[in-house]
């Protein structure tokens, strides 16, 4: 047996059914996106639905909104998460923080995070009530609309709450395994802690940072529940728009939903390819 194929053959019994379901689902979405849906009388392949969707201004608005929310939340989460990982590494209470505090948001579902964010940041939420009690706002309506707003602030807050601990956890694992002798040698040569972080720790943990960034960006770009529960009526995130098209009572409208799903799939695959290329370039250095 070819040694290169052996690992794949060993895991095949556990992966063949999920992989088969995934491939079948993608195939069905693909053919329906081209207008082939015999169950409702659509028997011809056409590019009409792709043309209609890709030239629709509301679709382009949804695409920009999804990119904006995903990019802002991912960049901020990565920056804060990396710094948090370094602070935990330097902290004297590492075990307590690592085992208790920053793992909590990771294990809590996004739907629970939505409820927490709404309870705290809505115009009738806890923060608005506290500020009103302190006399900082005259009434609840004076509090900034952070939920259901066109800028997606509420959505971004949920993603930050979930993604920052994930980034911190991933990067801390790498930082904790870097040989201390590298830092000790740098200190003996006159380097400061700032120099060690920027020139030793950060470059060595860069593959983990990039992979974590791609993971949270791809997830937030394709996530449905948070923008559905906290998003504004317009613009809508792409997954929400795909869902709305999918539940349209007119089943001949179904290909529009499938086109949006294919766009989401293509973008996510493209991001994965970019991620692999970046990692290969890093490891070749």
- The pLDDT tens digits of the residues spanning 37-51 come to 998 889 999 999 999
Answer whether residue 256 is part of any domain: yes
Within the chain, residue ranges assigned H as helices are 6-33, 48-54, 57-90, 94-96, 104-107, 110-121, 126-133, 153-177, 180-188, 193-196, 202-222, 225-230, 238-246, 254-283
* Residues 263-272 pLDDT 10s: 999 998 888 8
Answer whether residue 201 is part of any domain: no
Residue 33 contacts residue 263 (beta carbons within 8 Å) = no
Q: What is the pLDDT of residue 260?
A: 94
Q: What is the pLDDT of residue 100?
A: 61
Domain count, the chain: 1
Answer whether residue 18 is part of any domain: no
Answer whether residue 11 is part of any domain: no
Answer whether residue 27 is part of any domain: no
Answer whether residue 263 is part of any domain: yes
Reduced to 3 states, what is the DSSP secondary structure of residue 42?
strand
- CA separation for the pair 264, 246 (Å, rounded): 15
Could you tell me the residue range of the domain that residue 221 belongs to?
Answer: 71-166+210-283
Take residue 54 and report the two structure tokens written for it.
Answer: 């890709």
Q: Return the residue matching tokens 């209609």.
A: 52
Residue 148 belongs to a domain with what CATH number?
A: 1.10.3720.10
Answer whether residue 14 is part of any domain: no
Residue 114 contacts residue 161 (beta carbons within 8 Å) = no
Answer whether residue 33 is part of any domain: no
Question: In Å, how far are 78, 165, 241, 270, 273 from 161, measured between CA atoms?
Answer: 12, 7, 24, 26, 27
Question: pLDDT category, 277, cuts 50, 70, 90?
Answer: confident
């Amino acid at each position: 047996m070819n040694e290169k194929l052996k690992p794949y053959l060993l895991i095949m019994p556990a992966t063949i059914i999920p992989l088969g379901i995934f491939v079948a689902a993608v195939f069905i979405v693909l053919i329906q996106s081209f207008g082939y849906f015999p169950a409702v009388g659509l028997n011809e392949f056409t590019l009409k639905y792709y043309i209609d969707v890709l030239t629709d201004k509301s679709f382009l608005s949804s695409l920009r909104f999804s990119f904006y929310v995903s990019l802002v939340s991912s960049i901020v989460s990565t920056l804060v998460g990396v710094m948090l990982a370094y602070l935990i590494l330097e902290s004297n209470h590492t075990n307590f923080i690592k085992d208790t505090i920053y793992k909590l948001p990771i294990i809590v579902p996004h739907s629970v995070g939505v409820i927490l964010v709404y309870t705290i940041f809505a115009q009738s939420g806890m923060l608005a009530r506290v500020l009103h009690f302190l006399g900082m706002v005259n009434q609840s309506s004076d509090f900034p609309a952070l939920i259901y707003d066109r800028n997606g602030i509420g959505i971004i807050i949920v993603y930050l709450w979930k993604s920052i601990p994930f980034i911190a956890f991933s990067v801390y694992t790498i930082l904790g395994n870097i040989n201390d002798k590298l830092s000790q040698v740098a200190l003996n040569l006159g380097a400061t802690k700032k120099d060690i972080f920027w020139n030793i720790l950060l470059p060595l943990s860069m593959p983990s940072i990039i992979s974590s960034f791609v993971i949270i960006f791809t997830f937030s770009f394709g996530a449905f529940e948070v923008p559905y529960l906290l998003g504004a009526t317009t613009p809508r995130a792409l997954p929400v728009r795909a869902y709305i098209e999918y539940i349209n009572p007119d089943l001949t409208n179904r290909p529009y939903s499938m086109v949006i799903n294919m766009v989401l799939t293509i973008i996510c695959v493209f991001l994965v390819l970019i991620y692999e290329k970046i990692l290969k370039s890093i490891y070749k250095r």
